[in-house]
Structure 1
Amino acid sequence: MNPEPSDRRAVAFGLGAVVLWSTVATAFNLSLDYVPPLTLVTLASVTSWLFLGGILLFSGDLGTLNQIKVSEWLRLSALGLINPTLYYLLLFGAYARLPAQEAMAINYTWGLVLPVLAAPLLGQALKRRDVGCAAISYCGVFVIATRGDVLSFELSDPTGVGLAMASTVLWALYWIGNTRISTPPIQGLFVGFTAATVVLLALAGFTGSLVNLPWQALAGGLYIGFFEMGLSFILWLKAMKLTQNTARISTLIFLSPPLSLILIWALLDEAIKGSTLVGLAMILTGLAMQHWRRPHDPSV
């Protein structure tokens, strides 16, 4: 049976988002050669804030912001301090210290952190399969973090690995926090980015981080803010709304890590380590096992 036209469009939008996400590890690494994490996060946040505001303006939804309750504004602003503010500061800090291939691979474990944190915070059951999947994936993280020398138990860069791992916790907390938000996604993102942009501009202004910026930094901030923080989200949201099969669209995300590695190898001239391939395979195995769980067995 041929897929419905809406499903074909959903796949096209989903693939567009995945391709954009696959480029960001390279963009992060290239941009951080010229500016520190705070500067890059600020530039990207301002860009994304303008992009989201433009969407609301041209769609006629900007006026709906007045309908958001004050309590909801406060929650959304607090989430904005998690993402993009703290999340990207930690993530960019990891990319500044680790090879792009390692930071990218570790970052994909946020999907394993989500059910672990959802258990105590949302009162959801933590199933045996969640624990097993997390164990497999974190063994992969250990392989990457030790660069294959697992018997030494020495991390290649403890601070960089710690920042990457901490960013996954923040990303999971951000999505858990969003489960209690009733505001439409784009409006909610805009409010969150408004708070984040104000805080980041204040920090960057205080530290003088936005002075005498090279064009490479400006280009990187524009690219990350527009594509990684903005357009990719819109494409993915449209894909999830159009599809008749959410699982089919969700599996597209597994294409992103291999594509990222190809771009890292081609554009950054990073030799892809065997330990990265083994560790990433273990991470993706854990994610896949969690994703394709047996729906009729409540014990897993």
Structure 2
Amino acid sequence: MQLNRKAYFFTLLTILFWGGAATAFKTALSQISPITLLSLSSVISLLVITILLISNHKFRLLTQLPTKQWFYLLILGAINPFLYYIILFEAYDRLPGQVAMSLNYLWPVMLALLSVPILKHTLNRRSLFSILLSFLGAVIIATAGDFSNWGKLDTFGLILVLTSTVVWASYWLLSTRLKVDATIKLFIGFLSGSLLSVIYALWNNQLLINLDNIPWLSVMYVGIFEMGFTFFIWLTALHLTSNAAKLANLIYLTPFVSLMLLAIFRHEEIYFTTITGLMVIIMVILAQKYWQKGFSKKTLN
């Protein structure tokens, strides 16, 4: 019982920290470019992960990792954090926070689609209907429920946020194939990603700015809580609980916390259609998990 209470506490922290990410993104991007935000926050995240690696006495595992796995993880770092976050931050820079955040939750749907060519999965009618319903939720968010609004939002921004879901789903599929300690995986990924981010920022003259003009609080929030530390809080919660599925469902409260924080700190007017579209997407994701669980039980029986 005590362990479960701790698990719920860590889960609530995870929801709160990840829920504040959209607000931190928009606050930082109101003062600096997406490239600058990525380069600074990824370096901060790398430092946090390095501290966690040393404190958990896992640094020696780096020397035991085969060269092939090192190379594979460095390549993954080019996908996430580098490619994923540069696309996502650019989308946030162009769109209202509520739209970018809500549409980003389409990644499990993209995961289901990509699993067909990559993992050779098949989609039944129920899965196809779920995917179509999810995209309907996305359309509701993008148009605020009125098709006459189509085109009023930045079209390229919408393309970017949808692309970010494909990139994240691809990273997830490629990453889960590699059985490596999570801390090691993140460290090497951010070692590669932060290096690429800094090089890209320098190439575009995006780091040659006055340090006093950088919103350090928001940048540090992104680096510490969005990219790094919170992932380990979430892993701790899953490790402590006797019911991981229940915690996994609770994590879908995060986008609604994000909407609340965007309204409070960024003064965004949260549209009813955003909540409606987001609820459609989340309900479909949860329904798919339930159906997959039921299918697994039937298979075992």
Determine if the TM-score, normalized by the shorter chain, exceeds 0.5.
yes
2:284 — aligned with what?
Answer: 286
Q: Report whether the alignment pairs 1:224 with 2:219.
A: no
- Whether the 8 Å contact between 1:91 and 1:164 is mirrored in structure 2 is yes
- Whether the 8 Å contact between 2:142 and 2:150 is mirrored in structure 1 is no
Structure 1 gaps, min length 5: none
Comparing 195-204 with 27-36, greater Cα deviation is found at 195-204
Q: Report whether the alignment pairs 1:116 with 2:113.
A: yes
Q: Runs of 4 or more off by more than 6 Å in structure 1?
A: none
2:211 — aligned with what?
Answer: 213
CA distance in 2: counterparts of 1:130 and 1:155, whole angstroms? 31
Could you say if the C-alpha distance between residues 214 and 124 of structure 1 is closer, same or farther in structure 2, counting changes exceeding 3 Å?
farther
Deviations 1:241-284 (A, max 9, x none): 22221210101112111111111111111111122122112212
Matches for 1:1-300 after TM superposition, within 5 Å: 4-150=1-147, 154=151, 156-211=153-208, 212-293=210-291, 295-297=293-295
TM superposition score normalised by structure 1 = 0.94
Question: Cα distance, 1:239 vs. partner?
Answer: 1.4
- Whether the 8 Å contact between 1:40 and 1:217 is mirrored in structure 2 is no
TM superposition score normalised by structure 2 = 0.93
Question: Cα distance, 1:14 vs. partner?
Answer: 1.5
CA distance in 1: counterparts of 2:243 and 2:128, whole angstroms? 26
Question: Cα distance, 1:294 vs. partner?
Answer: 6.1
- Whether the 8 Å contact between 2:46 and 2:191 is mirrored in structure 1 is yes
- Whether the 8 Å contact between 1:52 and 1:190 is mirrored in structure 2 is yes
CA distance in 1: counterparts of 2:102 and 2:293, whole angstroms? 28
- Whether the 8 Å contact between 1:147 and 1:156 is mirrored in structure 2 is no
Question: Cα distance, 1:186 vs. partner?
Answer: 0.5
CA distance in 1: counterparts of 2:56 and 2:81, whole angstroms? 24
Structure 2 gaps, min length 5: none
Comparing 81-90 with 252-261, greater Cα deviation is found at 252-261
Letter in 1 for 2:257: L
Question: Cα distance, 1:225 vs. partner?
Answer: 0.6
Could you say if the C-alpha distance between residues 155 and 116 of structure 1 is closer, same or farther in structure 2, counting changes exceeding 3 Å?
farther
Question: Cα distance, 1:203 vs. partner?
Answer: 1.2
Letter in 2 for 1:21: W
- Whether the 8 Å contact between 2:18 and 2:254 is mirrored in structure 1 is yes
* TM-align CA RMSD: 1.8
Question: Cα distance, 1:11 vs. partner?
Answer: 1.6
Aligned residue for 2:60, secondary structure, equals: helix
Aligned residues: 297
Could you say if the C-alpha distance between residues 166 and 63 of structure 1 is closer, same or farther in structure 2, counting changes exceeding 3 Å?
same
